Structure 1
């Protein structure tokens, strides 16, 4: 509730006209840039620096001025705090609502009481994903939803379909990722879930595997130490 009220309070303090003008400016910048760049822009927000607008599209941030006379692709560092403003904004913009994930399309594994949850997007031929699978056996009291995202090769799609069509998907996944035992499923069942995951990966701008999501919506791309995953799970369980 507080988060919803803050923008209203700010508008009351600054005046409705100021707020409406800011929204209009952001809308005009968005419309103009979509025409120039030929791509759909997710959001345009006035940044607190140099009058620049933050433009978020296709999982990336660029900056421009009110007249779009320049388009800046790079990182903004706050000169006073030396914090990476762009990285902080990307962290927020790339977060999701965990409950929006179509978990029925994922391979589900429950360990212990399963009270802690995470989701991963992985390619069966991804070396970093195999490392993650071997390390993840150390996690307990967790439910892991693994979305099969075959983006590396045609064989990735074949293996994803075989794993999905296995009688025990979690076992087939672990046998392959942890021990190198190839899946024996024929891959001729309904593999809509794999196709839908590929589409979901595009919508979420997932460009590499593994990509991890946690209960608070935070995204961590790439291979990370198991200690960091455990820390994140513990924080969300509080």
Structure 2
């Protein structure tokens, strides 16, 4: 029995890291980010309360982003650390993994995650992002980026091509090496630069960026990325919260955004 509990606890590892890794990160992040307990106001004995209590009985330190009726009858959908879990209405059973609709040929678990990402990103002011945009963008995507990641650099090398296709790129910081690393400090210097766009381009090109400190959102972006389910960089998120499959060349990203728009989402 214990081995299954430990396996499930592994699903919450990102949340545990986000809460205990570095006090400076938490200070810069949303004060409520590490204490989100959705469903705590639900009446005792309700499916939402049972689901919340079941998750907290496994790991009392996690932040529960949302609790809602699941597409699977008799279950609640619970989002924890950017991951979707399904908890039976009585709180006894917890399922981990994607819920796929064989008839509609789509992953139903992505709907809740998309709504979460859209909400989280809507709370990030534009002046905390580094924006590369054409005059009248047709599409806007948020990109969690790292200055050291190869595909992040490749994406940035093609920034003019994305813009030429009407796609605005709004960068958020996600230094993969984590708080206290040189990578993290470099990204703080980028966000503290007088010309952030130039500093980011220099950093991604391997050119020297003067070390600077200031009040900056790098820690908050890092924590937000974990809450949004980031597993690698670059993480590209469309306007409706849909996560793209990693790096995509300009034409491929444009085609994906056009498909989303035809389905009723993707633009912003």
Tell me, yes or no, whether TM beats 0.5: yes
1:138 aligned partner: 161
Structure 1 171/111 Cα, relative in aligned 2: closer, same or farther at 3 Å? farther
Q: Check if 1:36 corresponds to 2:58.
A: yes
CA contact (8 A) 1:159 1:183 kept: no
Give the ranges of 4+ consecutive aligned residues of structure 1 lying more than 6 Å apart after TM superposition. Answer: none
Instruction: State how 1:175-190 maps to structure 2 within 5 Å.
Output: 175-177=202-204, 180-187=205-212, 189-190=213-214
2:82 aligned partner: 59
CA contact (8 A) 2:99 2:107 kept: yes
Over residues 55-89 of structure 1, what are the superposed CA-to-partner deviations in whole Å (9 max), with x where a residue is unaligned?
22111112232333332212323354454333444
Instruction: State how 1:111-126 maps to structure 2 within 5 Å.
Output: 111-114=134-137, 116-126=139-149
Q: Which runs of 5+ in 1 are unaligned?
A: 1-19
Rounded Cα–Cα distance in structure 1 between residues aligned with 2:186 and 2:214: 14
Q: Which has the larger radius of gyration?
A: 1
Instruction: State how 1:7-156 maps to structure 2 within 5 Å.
Output: 24-38=46-60, 39-49=62-72, 51-96=74-119, 99-114=122-137, 116-139=139-162, 140=164, 141-152=166-177, 154-156=181-183
Over residues 167-222 of structure 1, what are the superposed CA-to-partner deviations in whole Å (9 max), with x where a residue is unaligned?
42212222332xx24233122x4142323323433443434321223333433352
Instruction: State how 1:162-177 maps to structure 2 within 5 Å.
Output: 162-177=189-204
**3-state SS, counterpart of residue 158 of structure 2:** helix
Q: Which runs of 5+ in 2 are unaligned?
A: 1-41
Rounded Cα–Cα distance in structure 1 between residues aligned with 2:103 and 2:70: 16
1:11 aligned partner: none
What is the aligned counterpart of 1:229 among 244, 253, 262? 253
Rounded Cα–Cα distance in structure 2 between residues aligned with 1:237 and 1:46: 27
**3-state SS, counterpart of residue 184 of structure 1:** coil
State the aligned residue count.
Answer: 215
